């Protein structure tokens, strides 16, 4: 979502507010995307911390997450993880 908004011309500050993260996080995500595309972002966001946070999502969890994202209209990342209003 953040990359899409950046591609549409939104500023990092605005995208950060929408996603529920700070501008620096948006800039970091964009840097990772420029370095290696979506694979690099997935490696860093999903698999980059495996040693500390477990193995990430398995196939069933990933499908459940994708289904939920398709069915609901989340305005922020916080809403998607249950911290938003």
In a domain? residue 84: no
In a domain? residue 56: yes
In a domain? residue 85: no
Place 77 in a pLDDT band, splitting at 50, 70 and 90: low
For residue 10, give every residue at least 6 positions away whose Cβ sits within 8 Å of its Cβ, in sequence order, or none: 18
Joined together, the tokens standing for residue 15 give 């995208």
Residue 65 has pLDDT above 70, yes or no: yes
Question: Tens of pLDDT along 20-45?
Answer: 888 898 999 889 889 988 888 888 87
Q: How many domains does the chain have?
A: 1
What percent of the chain has pLDDT above 90?
A: 6
- DSSP character string of 2-53: HHHHHHTT--HHHHHHHHTS-HHHHHHHHHHHHHHHHHHHHIIIIITTHHHH
Place 52 in a pLDDT band, splitting at 50, 70 and 90: very low
Cβ count within 10 A of residue 3: 14
Query: Residue 47 sits in which domain range?
Result: 2-79
């Amino acid at each position: 979502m953040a990359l899409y908004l950046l591609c549409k011309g939104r500023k990092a500050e605005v995208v950060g507010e929408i996603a529920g993260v700070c501008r620096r996080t948006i800039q970091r995500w964009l840097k990772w995307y420029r370095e290696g595309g979506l694979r690099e972002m997935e490696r860093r966001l999903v698999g980059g911390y495996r040693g500390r946070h477990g193995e990430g999502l398995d196939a069933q969890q990933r499908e459940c997450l994708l289904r939920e994202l398709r069915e609901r209209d989340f305005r922020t990342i916080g809403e998607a993880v249950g911290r938003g209003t």
